[in-house]
Structure 1
């Protein structure tokens, strides 16, 4: 390509430069949009995982509460079966009171 004057060369260079900058800007915006979509998807996956963990936590808390109640009932039944003077009964009494206070 032969350029006849410096002004013509500068003019062509500026047009090419602007075109390159516009293309780079478009690519950058496109890349940023993709990153944004990826982040939203990851955020949604983590949110769903958190909800699942919270639900499991609540179920485990309820099971633990039921087991604790069952444990107290069993200790109470054992306590009734043994005489108050019995050494095992005294230990069970201590354990039962300790669990009720927790």
Structure 2
């Protein structure tokens, strides 16, 4: 009985499939595939643009960071030179400091 019911099921499937318009189904599938491809291309191009924008922003930040690092180095060197000049003008010996506070 199972064999005959499965045979009937197969016949029913073939009949339903034959009622469909295979050309229409194929065109529908092709349209869906084309629409999906267009969507993927759009999403892919959006991601590429966002990636490019972030890359350019990153480069800009790195360049600004390098400029600030150079500026900080120059300021540090200037600070050391000023401290050195100050120590030359006002030498302080440990003996001259009154640690007792008065």
Match of 1:79 among 77, 80, 87: 87
Q: Aligned residue for 1:68? A: 76
Report the 3-state secondary structure (helix = DSSP H, G, I; strand = E; otherwise coil) of the residue aligned with 2:21: helix
Shift of residue 66, structure 1, vs aligned partner: 0.5
Q: Aligned residue for 1:35? A: 43
Are residue 59 (structure 1) and residue 67 (structure 2) matched? yes
The RMSD of aligned alpha carbons is 2.0
Cα distance between partner residues in 2 of 1:11 and 1:30: 31
Consecutive unaligned residues of structure 2, counting only runs of 5 or more, are 1-13, 98-102
Structure with higher Rg: it is: 2
Q: Aligned residue for 1:47? A: 55
Consecutive unaligned residues of structure 1, counting only runs of 5 or more, are 1-5, 88-102
How many residues are treated as equivalent by the alignment?
81
Cα distance between partner residues in 1 of 2:18 and 2:27: 14
Report the 3-state secondary structure (helix = DSSP H, G, I; strand = E; otherwise coil) of the residue aligned with 1:49: helix
> Per chain length, whose mean CA-contact separation is higher, i.e. which structure has more relative contact order (CA < 8 Å, sep 6+)?
1
Query: Which residues in structure 2 correspond to 1:14-29 (within 5 Å)?
Result: 14-29=22-37
TM-score (norm 1): 0.70
* Structure 1 stretches of 4+ moved >6 Å: none
Report the 3-state secondary structure (helix = DSSP H, G, I; strand = E; otherwise coil) of the residue aligned with 1:84: coil
After superposition, what is the alpha-carbon deviation per residue over 1:68-95, rounded to whole angstroms, capped at 9, x for unaligned?
00100010011001133254xxxxxxxx
